[in-house]
Structure 1
Amino acid sequence: MHLRNRTAVNRFLQLLGFVVVSAALVAPGVHAQDRKKASVKKSQVSASSATVKRAVAPRKVAAAAKPVRVSARTSKAATRVAFVPAKPSFGQMAGLHEINDPLDLKSSVALVIDQDTHEVLLSKNDQAVLPIASLTKLMTGMIISQAKLPMDEPITITQDDVDTEKGSRSRLNVGTTLTRGEMLHLALMSSENRAAHALGRTYPGGLDVFVAQMNAKAKLLGMTGTRYVEPTGLSSRNQSSARDLATLVNVAHGDPLLRELSTSPGYEVAVGQRTLQYNNTNGLVKNPTWDIGLQKTGYISEAGRCLVMQTQVAGRKLIMVFLDSAGKFSRLGDAERVRHWVETLPSSLTAPLQARAGNHG
């Protein structure tokens, strides 16, 4: 009986030991789960902290990330699109924006001339030769106008007029037919690239002859720093200086057709069953406080924002040239700054005032 009791006790102790050992084996697993939960919480907190850090990171870092475009169908469906950083302009690469001027202009190149006296009121890097973008179309318009070609002649947009260099858009689809006058109106007023190219392509002798005429006219006018390779301005090889462009504006202003079309606030054309409304690329033409006799805007990344104008300020006829402006609206802001400055000047200007205006040419 005693032995049986001892055997029972031993079995009981063995069973008890098994339970203790099992509990010991299970406990680490439980602790591991607790540690895992704690780790998850910690990682969530860390992720939140990282999110906050990214939110307050410098804009330069944020710009390097690829933007996400949210689908219009559902906010859950997001599509990543490639981020393409803006190319620096030729003026930026040349350091022209480092040149300061008393008016704090955002354009790296500027020139303001009294059209009657030819007096230079303001000059900044005015001899720098830079891409001129769609300011090119002012010469395109001059060649077409002076050629006395029939303005009611129909011209059809072809595949040759489609921009393959910049991939710019146009509402003039291949096959669209407008008159030469309508094409010229759209080219000068709303900077229509296909219209400008079609004007050059259909010129007697073809595009090569047209471009040769552009360069010959520039040479005739004494625009020694100017070169054209095509009629739209999409090529960065179309280049000029503020001095040369002031000469071009002065001559173009003498053409009634160029004055009328370039300052037209808006224009409608019938394309098939549709009517397309076009507006002037220069918002100042609709501003009643401005008296603009001729104008043209331009933009490609290599040229920055550009603007040339003939205008009257404080009773004086002025030619304004702004090249390589840094912001979308800053060329217009520069024109406003110059106008306000001229309005504060006495009617008779002297050489020191020109220097005061910032002669960095």
Structure 2
Amino acid sequence: MPQAPQTIAVAMSGGVDSSAVAALLRAQGHTLVGLTLQLWNQRRLAGHEGMPESVQGRCCSIDDVYDARRVAEHLDIPYYLVNQEARFEAEVVKPFVSEYLAGRTPIPCTLCNNHLKFDALLLTARQIGAELIATGHYARNHFDPIRNRWILSRPADHSKDQTYFLFGLTQDQLAHTLFPLGEMQKPVVRQMAADAGLALAQKPDSQEICFIPGGDYSAFLAAYLEDQGEAQPDLSGDLVSTSGEILGRHTGIHTVTVGQRKGLGLTSPNPLYVLNIHPDSHAVTVGSDADLMSRELHANRLNWISIPDLAEPIRVRAKIRHRHEPAWATLSPAGPDLAHVLFDEPQRAVTPGQAAIFFHEDEVVGGGWIVNPND
């Protein structure tokens, strides 16, 4: 945290966390400018089959923009809404659709943070004379003079850890970003917002992806393709056992994900889970819960934070989902922009399209995107 007063752009989402950050920095005497990114027209696909009218509970909604503006007025700071809808669609929504249609399970929030939010916020901040941005993410960063690198670390409150969504940040972005909540617990943050007189101090956290109401990916894909004037491709295929026996049919590889059990339309004396999705043949392999366990993965599109590059095998704890407990593994280079992870113990449902983040103690070593090495 800067000691002398500075001009800081605060990324204001309309939630409790970013609002508390603005109140804290304002009380410390900094000159603030509030910025909210307009990313998606929440009513764009309303009326399409399966798409509800309500947008409540989603991040970046119209209500959130209203709340962010209201907090800025309460704190008496300038506030700007920055339209990034076109870029969000090009860099987050379209890749999300492409990945799902290819049988992978992407994470749009990580794509958004890594490729859009911090880049757009820093650019806008510099245009208005601010060299720093502050966000409500639960994470920590500091400069290590020995390694001459900015380090990203897990927050004090591991239950709120958001480093999984931030592994793609560059050294320049980390150098110009503040995470004021990194040392705090959520109840303290809510109390800080209440003490500042913010009406949204008890506002619930957003739970849904901003452009997918109800978490119905299939309905969104159908509505979006219709909106684009594109026919939905026939991605149906066979449900097959690990021995290759055809057990049934599925309606499309975009409707299933690794680890899924419900909705397969199969009867079996033991539960069956999605093990692998084969985009070329549209076949989906199913098997037992034990078959979901795997000791290895490959990741590409790598970004290194605490190290300049991966030159030799190192010991890490690897996290393969936001709610996954990091597990001990050996991380090794496997080719140009490709890493191999060998876990000490098998992990459940390693899923292509998800991110893999690597830790040394609480430091983020780096991360990448899980791929099928045969793709």
Shorter-normalised TM range: under 0.3
Higher-helix-fraction structure: 1
Using the size of structure 2 for normalisation, the TM-score is 0.23
Higher-strand-fraction structure: 2
Determine which structure has more spread, i.e. the larger CA radius of gyration. 1
Using the size of structure 1 for normalisation, the TM-score is 0.23
